[in-house]
Structure 1
Amino acid sequence: MTGGPLEGVRVIDLTSVVVGPICTRTLADQGAEVIKVEPPSGDLLRTMARGSRNPGMSGKFINFNRNKRSVCLDLKQPEGMEAMRRLLADADVFVSNVRPVALERLGLDHATLLRSNPGLIYCGILAFGSAGRYANRPAYDPIIQSLSGVAATFQRATGEPRFVPMVMTDHVTGLIAAQSIGFALFRRSRTGTGEAIEVPMFENMASFVMSEHMGPATFDPPVGPTGDNRLLSPDYRPLATKDGYITVGPNTDAQAFAFFEAIDRAELRHDPRFASAAARTAHASEYFLIRAEGLAQRTTDEWLEILGKLDVPAARYNTLEDLMVDPHLQDAGFFQPEDHPTEGRIRRTKTPNHFSGGMREDELPAPRLGENTQEVLRGLGYTDAQLDLLASKGAIAGPVPSAAAGAGAGAAA
């Protein structure tokens, strides 16, 4: 018993790197049993990310693959594929970010799997939707940031196209995929039937960007240019104080007028450029410049005290190092210590959301490659002799013991 709203849901996870693992980690954190199927080379993130104590266990892999079990199968071998089919026979969810043409060659396309398991929720996370001409092209996060207009928003704001220094499109799409799976599970609870879900990165990020920036171009013909001039202002950023940086958000009239008083510019409340939220948006560049000039007059701590008393939204600027000692996150127990069985003392981020009906109770450490191959395949009816034979052929890998050694022997390969 794991606890959590997805307790009892079995997920077969054929994903790698970030977009798929973010999806399946979200399901796992909510109590789903997630079986991560990896090739003999392992998930690329095991080795491509910087920072590790042992080969194949990078810090990034550990963060994205908690609460999962790893089964190592060579799907190019018939025996490995047979084990995969047995895993999928009674699974609730199958998630993959492998290109559809490759899945079809393996016999893991949605039509084939739904015929054999009509209750399956089949989620394909794709770079591009199947209806468009880019279908089946390969892509990673920066490709999608470039195509979807994310990089272009930086050029509009700063004069230079840039990527967000996070794999943001992977995270956003992975979370949308997890959400979509939840919707499909809800529908299955009423209809009893499964379905196929297609979650394309490009279309989702185009929607993400244009929901913010289509604006006047929503109308046909457009009533103005694309782009939210407030968000695209070069001064839409943390602003300098006497000793650091601060971010403020006086958006309502009450907040803006209180802010004007705080910077000794109370007369601005009567300035037609700043007297309403609509006017301040239309004159965002001037408004942001006034904010920047005013905030430069005091220290960050002074402003936090002054603006806090006025109920004006404000926060100090945190570096990545600051974030790890942020007092609110410390109060919330956000960074949790863990003794990983092979990687020693580590820190893991706490699942931020809480369900009053119960949360996952058995926190699982990120697995070594093929760590759970033997236990999972035994649960499908494989004997020790069969496991030894599959291991000798290279169809599986992991801590597979010989029959003589007993169930508890062996170390991860």
Structure 2
Amino acid sequence: MSALPLSGVRVIDLTRILSGPFCSMILGDLGAEVVKIEAPGGDHVRGQGHKIDGLSWYFAGFNRNKQSLELDLRKPEGVAVLERLLARADILTENFRPGVLAKMGLTEARLNEINPDLIVVSVNGYGSTGPYADRPAFDFIAQAMSGYMATNGTPDTGPLRTAPPITDLVAGLYAALGAVAALRGRENGGPAQRVEASMMMSMMSMMAYLSSNALATGRDPVPTGNDHPIASPYGLFRASDGDIAVAPSTEVIVQRFMKEIGLSHLLDEPRFVNNAMRVQNRAELNALINAAVAGGTQAEWIARLNKAGVPSGRVQSLTEALADPQVAAQEMVLDVPHPGHGTVKMTGFPIKFSQTPLRVRHTVPDLGEHGREVLRAAGYDEAEIDALIANGIMGAGDPAG
């Protein structure tokens, strides 16, 4: 099998919890050699979520394709080991608060001295400059402060968070993209540089037309729940056995939709003649559509509408979505054998490569599992490794991790 896109790239990963580990997992999935350096006791996520055979499936879902080294970076001997690893690395990923690396002695100047070709990828809450740079960050707070939460829900519910930790994930994605771009720039003769992605700013970049309209008008969008803020008809409609989601995003598709449900004549009426009027009279139009689709089942309408080119689907529970035949066809649920922990189920790879398909090369690592292997590759001999373990600088590897 051909090499994966990032084969040969070495990543030293100091991240923990979610945003940073998601970034480094993406790099590992793409073929990079990722060494996850964990503090004594390991990443906190190892103890969170549902466990089977002692393994957190939450942790497993974000830390595949990595090796684990347990290292005490509060001690200068631990930092010395880290520096030796960084000397042969391409990328350092971290998601400490801004300034923490410098307090460890790893200033920009020191990192450049260790390895002038090192790309430093930082994921944080608000960015490394500005009045909020030193604030602690969490997904819930970033959702609130980015304007994102205020656009969710309805006027009755008030602001609502999104269930997945979306700001962590978007920041992790941007950080991984930035890392790959910085690698490409370095290959083209440019400098090795620092890449930063913050949760709040990453989420703001995803606000799309909501930001555009707010910037143009100076007005906040009104939360519209499942209705589209600038398009109608659009949303959930009630068939005889439950809701269907319908997204007629253009005038042509609106016409197809209204024809299929027998209401095309309404588009000639002044109150529904164009999108602006339909948005203004949304409640009235939705009531008429609901009355029309109530005569058919979800399956009937979804088949009929999709055949007509109208995007539609059923609101599935998460377990239903994970068992969906399309998800199976896309191999988006993986059964990964893990020695000592049985088979671990996790989500698959959303990026598809035609010639170098992504795969799980390394199951989720036990805490410190690869310590000796990593240090041997960095030039340590067995006596040096034994001394680091004996002095509490490095973990010996915990099969129950």
Q: Answer yes or no: same fold by TM over 0.5.
A: yes
Structure 1: unaligned runs, 5 residues or longer = 400-409
RMSD of aligned Cα (Å) = 2.5
**1:40 shift after superposition:** 0.8
Distance 1:74 1:250, change over 3 A: same
What SS does the aligned partner of 1:64 have? coil
**1:377 shift after superposition:** 0.5
Q: Deviations over 1:293-318 (max 9, x none)?
A: 43333210111232133221111221
**1:41 shift after superposition:** 1.7
What SS does the aligned partner of 1:198 have? strand
User: Alignment partner for residue 145 of structure 2, among 140, 144, 147?
Assistant: 147
User: Alignment partner for residue 347 of structure 1, among 341, 345, 348?
Assistant: 345
**1:361 shift after superposition:** 5.2
Are the aligned partners of 1:180 and 1:197 in contact in 2 as well (CA < 8 Å)? Answer: yes
Q: Which residue is equivalent to 2:92?
A: 94
**Greater shift in the superposed pair: 223-232 or 239-248:** 223-232
User: Alignment partner for residue 304 of structure 1, among 288, 302, 309?
Assistant: 302
Q: Which residue is equivalent to 2:38?
A: 38
**1:58 shift after superposition:** 0.8
Are the aligned partners of 1:372 and 1:398 in contact in 2 as well (CA < 8 Å)? Answer: no
Are the aligned partners of 1:52 and 1:58 in contact in 2 as well (CA < 8 Å)? Answer: yes
The question of 1:195 aligning with 2:206 is answered: no
TM-score (norm 2): 0.91
**1:352 shift after superposition:** 2.1
Distance of 1:228 and 1:280 partners within structure 2: 17
**1:279 shift after superposition:** 4.6
User: Alignment partner for residue 269 of structure 1, among 264, 267, 270?
Assistant: 267
The question of 1:165 aligning with 2:180 is answered: no
Are the aligned partners of 2:90 and 2:117 in contact in 1 as well (CA < 8 Å)? Answer: yes
**Quick one: which amino acid aligns to residue 374 of structure 2?**
V
The question of 1:214 aligning with 2:211 is answered: yes
Distance of 1:334 and 1:155 partners within structure 2: 29
Distance 1:126 1:268, change over 3 A: same
Match runs of 1:307-326 below 5 Å = 307-326=305-324
Match runs of 1:15-164 below 5 Å = 15-47=15-47, 49-55=48-54, 57-164=55-162
Identity %: 35
Distance of 2:250 and 2:229 partners within structure 1: 20
Are the aligned partners of 2:61 and 2:346 in contact in 1 as well (CA < 8 Å)? Answer: yes
Q: Which residue is equivalent to 2:238?
A: 240
**1:284 shift after superposition:** 4.5
**Greater shift in the superposed pair: 182-191 or 353-362:** 353-362
**1:337 shift after superposition:** 1.7
Are the aligned partners of 2:233 and 2:278 in contact in 1 as well (CA < 8 Å)? Answer: no
Distance 1:54 1:83, change over 3 A: farther
Distance of 2:184 and 2:103 partners within structure 1: 31
**Greater shift in the superposed pair: 350-359 or 337-346:** 350-359
TM-score (norm 1): 0.89
Structure 2: unaligned runs, 5 residues or longer = none
Distance 1:135 1:328, change over 3 A: same
**1:235 shift after superposition:** 9.4
What SS does the aligned partner of 1:171 have? helix
What SS does the aligned partner of 2:331 have? coil
**1:291 shift after superposition:** 3.4
Q: Which residue is equivalent to 1:14?
A: 14
Are the aligned partners of 1:213 and 1:227 in contact in 2 as well (CA < 8 Å)? Answer: no
Distance 1:90 1:314, change over 3 A: same
Are the aligned partners of 2:367 and 2:399 in contact in 1 as well (CA < 8 Å)? Answer: no
**Quick one: which amino acid aligns to residue 141 of structure 2?**
I
Distance 1:290 1:106, change over 3 A: farther
**1:206 shift after superposition:** 2.3
Q: What is the count of residue pairs matched by the alignment? A: 398
Q: Which residue is equivalent to 2:228?
A: 231
Distance of 2:116 and 2:148 partners within structure 1: 39
Q: Which residue is equivalent to 2:5?
A: 5
Distance of 1:391 and 1:223 partners within structure 2: 60
Distance 1:112 1:291, change over 3 A: farther
Distance of 2:325 and 2:71 partners within structure 1: 44
**Quick one: which amino acid aligns to residue 119 of structure 2?**
I
Distance of 2:78 and 2:268 partners within structure 1: 73
**1:90 shift after superposition:** 1.6
Distance of 2:236 and 2:244 partners within structure 1: 5
Q: Which residue is equivalent to 1:405?
A: none
**1:78 shift after superposition:** 1.9
